[in-house]
Amino acid sequence: MKMSDVVSNAFSMPLTSPAYPKGPYRFVNREFLVITYRTDLEALRAVVPEPLQVDEPIVKFEFIRMPDSTGFGDYTEAGQVIPVSFQGRKGGYVHAMFLNDGSPIAGGREIWGFPKKLAQPSLRVEQDTLVGTLDLGSVRLATGTMGYKHQTLDGESLRAGLEAPSFLLKIIPHVDCTPRICELVEYSLTDLTIKGAWAGPAGLELFAHALAPVSALPVREVLSATHILTDLTLGLGKVVHDYLG
């Protein structure tokens, strides 16, 4: 293979059979359970990088079921998103994500900088309860529950929150383990159709783990929970701050 061929074909690894196709990526029947809780402000400030700003001690724990996604297939995800502001705009900082499929782990980390790790999340209905769980091996990391469709919400009232910008810290190491890329990346969800939205009583438990410290942002009070069914497109990102530049 000529050097020019390497450059023209380079997209992802491996060169001759990339782990995922090029985006953007469309999701059909993407289902969210989002439990919003109050935590400790100093704990948030210890993990959110400047120039993002934390204004209140709030975290959103998300369980996301994705049965039909372009290039990535069928998988489930869970993690923590922290409401932040950047240059006067409100958005969310994606702090931790855990999922059960190698292709979106590779694509999410390499393209945008999603902080994805391999684990075993699930989102399911058990009789009258929507249940989200997150396990790493045999260890439980999180359990979230919500009364199933207790209150119907106006889906359009949630649109602004879903379409708000999200921020990621993308880190790619050099061969000597120094940072080759260290950037703040912004992305948004587009072409959004909200098929249904509901609220209900909720509970959330987080458990300690040395390699997945979700409980370092402890649950002080559950504030709300929403269950949302959508179709959407995950747009490609843009760099809004270069830490090495």
* Residues known to be catalytic: 116
What per-residue string of b and e applies to 153-191 under the rule 16 or more CB within 10 Å gives b?
Answer: eebeebbeebeebbbbbbeeeeeeeeeeebbbbbbbbee
Cα 45 from chain centre:
19
What whole-number distance in Å separates Cα of residue 186 and Cα of residue 165?
Answer: 6
Which residues, in sequence order, are CB contacts of 147 under 8 Å at separation 6+?
128, 129, 130, 200, 201, 202
Residue type, 34: V
Joined tokens for residue 143: 């359990």
**Strand, coil or helix: what is 42?**
helix
Tell me the pairing of strands 151-152 and 221-234. Answer: unpaired
- The CA-CA-CA angle for residues 110, 115, 121, to 5°, reads 115
Does residue 179 have a cis bond before it (omega within 30 degrees)?
A: no
**Strand, coil or helix: what is 63?**
strand
